[in-house]
Structures are given as C-alpha cells and as structure tokens.
C-alpha cells in the first residue's frame, strides 16, 4: 500500500512538472495521512524549507526534504491538529529567510493575518442532483441567462456593521434572487485576498474561500440552496496576475517562480501586482487545478475569467513591453494557456459556463478552439456597455446626433456570444451609480433607468446587472458598507425594484428573447434611423412565426402620438409591457388600446400599427391575432 501511494505521488509530481496535473491540490498543500499530516510545497530554487506553525511555536524544528527532480519539499508530522495555523519558512536562493504562505491552502486565518489553517473540508452529500441533471441536458445558449452580480461582503451588513457571511446570505440572498427572478448570481472573487479595497482581484489563496466570507462548508451550503431554487452560481477568478505582498506568492524561492523571469513582463504596473508566467508548466498545473477545484468542490455553474486582455496582449499594461518573436503584441503564453484551460474544463465539465472579461476586438474569444478562438462560452460586451451608458448620460437634445451609440452594437452583435454587463466597474470611482448617470430630474432618471433595463433585456445577448441597481440606488457602491436598503422605504425606489422583478420574469417567460439567440434570426430591426424623434424599434423573434415581440424605445422626453411602427403581418397587436405604468413609478394608469394593423408600407413592411409611445419610455408589443400567410415585406 505504501508503495502504491509513493508511486501515485511521483506520478502526480511528474504531471505537475509537465503542466498536466489538473488536481495538484490533491498532493501539494496539507493532507491527512496515516502518520499525521503531510505537507508539500513547490520551491525549486530554495536552499531549505521548514514547516512552522502553532504546533511548534513557529520555530524551524520541522525541516522539509526536497525531491531535486521536482523541486517539491515535503515533511510528514503528527504535531499539527485541525485548526492550527501554519506557514513555510523558506531560505531563498540568496540565503534570505522569509515566512511564506502555502499556495495550495484551502483555508486561511482572517485578515490581517495570512497564515494557512490546517483544515479538512468534509465530504458533502449534495442534494442538487436534479439541477445538475437538468443543466447537463439543456442547451445553455438557448436558455435565459440573467445574472445578479454581487460583492459578497457589501450586499448587506449587520446592525453592528459586520458583513454577512455565506450562512447569512443563504438565509436572505437566495430568497431575494428567487423573488427577483434572476437566473444566476455571480460573485466578485471569493478567493483569499489580504485587502478588501482590492474587491478580491489581488489574490493570494487560489484554493481558499476567503475566511472573511465564512467557511468553505457554508459556501457549499449556499450553492446547494441556490440550485434547489433553480439559481446558478458563477464566481470571478483571476489567473492573470496576483498580489505582490512579499510573504505570499512573489518570488517564492527567491527566483521567478510563479511570475515571468523578464521583470517587464512580470511587473503589472497598472494594478501593482505580478503577472503569472502562463507558459510555465507548473504554473499551468497550479491555475487549472484551482479552476477545477472551485468547479468541483463548490459545484459552480460557471467561472468568469478576469482581465483576459492583460493575459493575451503584451502591450496591455502601462509599463514597458517587448514584442514577441514575430514582432507583434500577442502574448502567446497567455493565448495558449487560455485555450488549454477551456479545453480541460470543457472535457471534464462541458456544462460549465466559461466567461471572459475582455475589452478588445482583435482576438476571437468565444466559440470552438479549433477555429482559432480562445474557447470561452461568453464574452462581456464592454463596447455595448460603454456606448449605451454614454448615450443615457447625454442630454436628449443631443441624442439625435449620437444615435449610433445606441445602435452600433447591431453591426457586430453576432461576432461573439455576448453577455451585456452593467457591472460593478460602472458604479464606482466617481462614475456615479446607474441611477445617478441618467439625465434630468429624479422622475426622468427613474424613467430612463427603466428604459435602460428594458433595452438590456430585449437586446440580443445574456444579461448582467450589479447589486443595488435593481432599485435605482443613487449613491455609488462602497465596498466596505452594505447597500442602501433604506432606499426601499421611498415609493419610487420600491416601484423601481418591482419593475425589475417584473421585467426579469418577463425575460424568463418570453422565448422570443432567447430561443434563437446567437443567430441573426433572433432580431429584425424595424427602424434604427429615426434619429429626429430618438425612437428605436426592432423585433425579437422566437422559433415560430407568431412568437415575436416588438420593442419600441423612446429616448426623448416627448410623448409620441399616433406613432407608426412597421409590423410583419396584418392583424391585431397588444401592448404587454409599458415602462411608464403607475405601478412602476410612471404616470400611465392604463395600457394602450389593441392596435389594428393598417395596409400602409413602412420601410420593409407592408403593414403598420399606430400607438402612443410615452416620453422616455419603452413599449413591448405582442401579436394577438395575425395572418402569417400574408406577405411580410414590401415588394421591391
């Protein structure tokens, strides 16, 4: 038996060195054994490594031995017990001695300390089999995807100012997600990080749920509760760069270990961090093992990979850069690592959704790797977000001259599989909240926020909004405080929340908004040229001819009477959503009457309807009784 274990460990080491061990946490880090605990750490150029912790008064009485071929140090001891703190004392290549964290630790003490905790996560008997089975059988691209983005420690705080743990979030956030009709929740990074101000994007523990948020077991219970309520869970992950704190990952053994050897490539000037050497096999094993650990240990439904542009372009950062061997700016190591990451995850878990936060258009991000893509399922559409928010911040007097900001996305919306993000990045650092961005007085701001959300829901692409936006929080997001839940005592905020809840339910129930997504058949523009009135009209189409919705967005503070809209078939049409209804915070007490089509040509259609479109409002109109055998378009 001992020989079999030794053989397995040696095989694991070999795979780690070649970049093919995707479960490296099973032998690196701290593990129970028949002789107590075995600790292993990769530090190939260290002169000596010791295990130190509560169990030996942090003294160097437990020297580790090294396998010269692998650079992995090891010690077995009966001294530690569950809950003890530990680190590795590393005598680096130049003789400097420094305490370092365990890169493979699965739990850390609460900050400001960063010692690892000897912790064994008990095997959980999951109860989400129905969710998992349904997920494997369904086509995620043809299903609704509406994500509520959350920063775990600032969604709510207790009365004493302490943040909610995942035990608290299970009791309150899960029912809220269900009540608000979101399909998924996405958390900003949950992995261990030393500074809350980084929002979790400066990581030290790639296998550890931050103890600031609770225990690993509590997060497992949260995910299970989400699945039992038909809600998926995504987590942000940062494989491009890591925290620069000296006692964590940087220059672990005194030489470039996790980072690039070239200091210009290693140093991330923009974020004050260090870039992973994504071409190093051991780093590939480390990072892919981290992703697999989170997917399998916590039954995650998706991972959003942060800062992909920084990983695939050498010149993305603000510091000096050198061209690649072809003379260009492509970071081939990052490019091929991401393809490998997605290939490994899709082979093991084809149903897991991989999302890229990426801001350029020079690289194909989504689609099959065989076609030259990075292999992600979705890409955040940062262009749509920036253009649309610029438009909504603009005085309507000037919108007619910049209508392309609203419509330009129609030119490229099928180039990738997109998620349309109204994310945390847009409601912080002086950018103002979504509500505060809107032009005009408070009433007009709410009216436009409802129209913005309706455009988000009806535009092709999956959806993401940041917490607090759903009721129009006016203040910017603060990472160290809870959301302004007191806002909901105000009637307008309460009605805005009700509107978002209604809109989310509408999105989930209307197949025309997602059934043909990813194909041009899902949309037909009626009129994107009415810049004078600042009104945009288009159709979202389902699989059957009669299953479609007409969307009418009025971006001017002027009500449009007897407004003409081209329709594909003769018959009657019924308004099914009006953003200016009193129940949502508007002034309309009843819907428009049913419209009878008129045989009057409108652009490519030989029929039109006429209705009233509210100022700064949006209508969604559904066919009621139509004749689909009639010609749809005007003869040329």
Does the annotation count 306 as an active-site position? yes
Q: Residue 475: pLDDT above 70?
A: yes
As a whole number of angstroms, the distance between CA 202 and CA 204 comes to 7
What is the band of 4 on the pLDDT scale with cuts at 50, 70, 90? Answer: low
pTM of the prediction? 0.96
Q: What is the pLDDT of residues 414-471, one digit of tens each?
A: 999 999 999 999 999 999 999 999 999 999 999 999 999 999 999 999 999 999 999 9
Mean pLDDT of the chain: 96
Position 21 scores a pLDDT of 96
Position 219 scores a pLDDT of 98
Q: Are 555 and 406 in contact (CB under 8 A)?
A: yes
What is the band of 2 on the pLDDT scale with cuts at 50, 70, 90? Answer: low
Can 2-117 and 520-626 be said to share one CATH topology? yes
As a whole number of angstroms, the distance between CA 445 and CA 437 comes to 8
Q: What is the mean pLDDT of residues 502-507?
A: 98
Place of tokens 């099914």: 576
HSE at residue 513, side-chain half, CA atoms within 13 A, is 24
Catalytic residue among 192, 357, 470, 517: 357
3-class DSSP state of 1: coil
Q: Are 258 and 101 in contact (CB under 8 A)?
A: no
Q: What is the pLDDT of residues 24-46, one digit of tens each?
A: 999 999 999 999 999 999 999 99
Backbone angles phi, psi at 169, to 5 degrees: -65, -35
Q: What is the mean pLDDT of residues 361-376?
A: 95
Q: Are 282 and 332 in contact (CB under 8 A)?
A: no
Q: What is the pLDDT of residues 92-127, one digit of tens each?
A: 999 999 999 999 999 999 999 999 999 999 999 999
Q: State CA 187 to chain mean position distance.
A: 7
Which numeric CATH code is attached to 520-626?
A: 2.60.40.1180
As a whole number of angstroms, the distance between CA 230 and CA 227 comes to 5
Q: Which two tokens stand for residue 529?
A: 């040229």
Q: State CA 584 to chain mean position distance.
A: 28
Catalytic residue among 84, 253, 306, 527: 306
Which numeric CATH code is attached to 2-117?
A: 2.60.40.10
Does the annotation count 357 as an active-site position? yes
As a whole number of angstroms, the distance between CA 404 and CA 415 comes to 18
* Neighbouring-strand partners of residue 209: 191
Q: Are 275 and 318 in contact (CB under 8 A)?
A: no
As a whole number of angstroms, the distance between CA 616 and CA 579 comes to 9
Position 632 scores a pLDDT of 63
Q: Domain map of the chain by residue range?
A: 2-117, 520-626
As a whole number of angstroms, the distance between CA 266 and CA 274 comes to 5
Q: Which of 252, 304, 289, 329 is nearest to 87 (CA)?
A: 252
Q: Residue 634: pLDDT above 90?
A: no
Q: Which two tokens stand for residue 225?
A: 């509760």
DSSP for 287-348 reads HHHHHHHHHHHHT-SEEEEP-HHHHHBTTSSSS-----TTSSSB-HHHHHHHHHHHHHHHHH
Residue 562: C-alpha distances to residues 56, 123, 400, 537, 549 (Å): 83, 65, 20, 15, 19
As a whole number of angstroms, the distance between CA 99 and CA 318 comes to 31
Q: Residue 582: pLDDT above 90?
A: yes
Position 636 scores a pLDDT of 42
Position 235 scores a pLDDT of 98
As a whole number of angstroms, the distance between CA 253 and CA 176 comes to 47
Q: Which of 536, 446, 456 is nearest to 492 (CA)?
A: 446
Alpha-helical runs (H) found in 18-128: none
Q: Is the peptide bond before 112 cis (omega within 30 degrees of 0)?
A: yes
């Amino acid at each position: 038996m001992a020989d079999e274990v030794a053989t397995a460990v040696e095989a694991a080491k070999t795979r780690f060195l070649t970049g093919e061990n995707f479960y490296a946490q099973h032998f690196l880090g701290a593990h129970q054994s028949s002789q107590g605990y075995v600790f292993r750490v990769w530090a190939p150029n260290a002169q000596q490594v010791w295990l130190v912790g509560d169990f030996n008064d942090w003294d160097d009485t437990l020297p580790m031995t090294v396998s010269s071929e692998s650079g992995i140090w090891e010690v077995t001891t009966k001294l530690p017990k569950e809950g003890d703190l530990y680190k590795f004392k590393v005598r680096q290549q130049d003789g400097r001695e420094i305490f370092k964290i365990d890169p493979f630790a699965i739990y850390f003490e609460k900050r400001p300390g960063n010692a690892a905790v000897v912790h064994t996560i008990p095997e959980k008997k999951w109860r989400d089999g129905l969710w998992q089975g349904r997920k494997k059988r369904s086509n995620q691209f043809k299903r609704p995807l509406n994500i509520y983005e959350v920063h775990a420690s600032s969604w709510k705080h207790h009365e004493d100012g302490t943040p909610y743990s995942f035990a608290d979030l299970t009791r309150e956030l899960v029912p809220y997600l269900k009540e608000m009709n979101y399909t998924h929740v996405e958390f900003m990074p949950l992995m261990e990080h030393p500074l809350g101000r980084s929002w979790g994007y400066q990581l030290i523990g790639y296998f550890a749920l931050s103890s600031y948020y609770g225990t690993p077991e509590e997060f497992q219970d949260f995910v299970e509760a989400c699945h039992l309520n038909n809600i998926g869970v995504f987590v942000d992950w940062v494989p491009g760069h890591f925290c620069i704190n000296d006692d964590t990952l940087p220059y672990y053994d005194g030489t470039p270990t996790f980072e690039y050897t070239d200091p210009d490539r290693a140093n991330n000037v923009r974020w004050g961090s260090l870039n992973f050497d994504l071409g190093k096999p051991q780093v590939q094993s480390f990072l892919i093992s981290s992703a697999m650990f989170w997917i399998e240990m916590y039954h995650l439904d998706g991972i959003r990979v942060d800062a992909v542009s920084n990983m695939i372009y050498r010149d993305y950062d603000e510091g000096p850069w050198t061209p690649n061997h072809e003379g260009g700016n492509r970071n081939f190591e990052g490019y091929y690592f991401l393809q490998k990451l997605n290939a490994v995850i899709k082979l093991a878990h084809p149903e897991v959704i991989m999302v890229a936060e990426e801001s350029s258009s020079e690289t194909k991000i989504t689609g099959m790797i065989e076609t030259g893509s990075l292999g992600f399922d979705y890409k955040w559409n940062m262009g749509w977000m920036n253009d649309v928010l610029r438009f909504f911040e603009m005085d309507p007097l000037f919108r007619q001259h910049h209508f392309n900001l609203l419509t330009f996305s129609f030119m490229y919306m099928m180039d990738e599989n997109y998620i349309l993000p109204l994310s945390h990045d847009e409601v912080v650092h002086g950018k103002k909240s979504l509500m505060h961005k809107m032009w005009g007085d408070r009433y007009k701001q709410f009216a436009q926020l409802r129209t913005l959300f309706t455009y988000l829901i009806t535009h092709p692409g999956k959806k993401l909004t940041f917490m607090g936006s759903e009721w129009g929080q006016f203040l910017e997001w603060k990472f160290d405080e809870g959301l302004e839940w007191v806002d909901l005592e105000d009637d307008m905020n309460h009605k805005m929340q009700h509107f978002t809840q209604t809109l989310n339910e509408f999105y989930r129930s209307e197949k025309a908004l997602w059934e043909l997504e990813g194909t041009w058949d899902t949309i037909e523009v009626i009129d994107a040229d009415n810049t004078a009135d600042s009104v945009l009209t288009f159709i979202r189409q389902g699989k059957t001819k009669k299953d479609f919705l007409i969307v009418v967005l009025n971006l001017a503070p002027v009500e449009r009477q007897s407004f003409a809209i081209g329709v594909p078939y003769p018959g009657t049409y019924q308004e099914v959503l009006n953003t200016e209804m009193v129940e949502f915070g508007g002034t309309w007490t009843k819907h428009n009457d049913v419209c009878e089509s008129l045989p009057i040509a409108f652009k490519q259609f030989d029929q039109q309807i006429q209705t009233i479109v509210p100022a700064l409002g949006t209508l969604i109109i559904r066919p009621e009784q139509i004749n689909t055998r009639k010609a749809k378009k005007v003869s040329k």
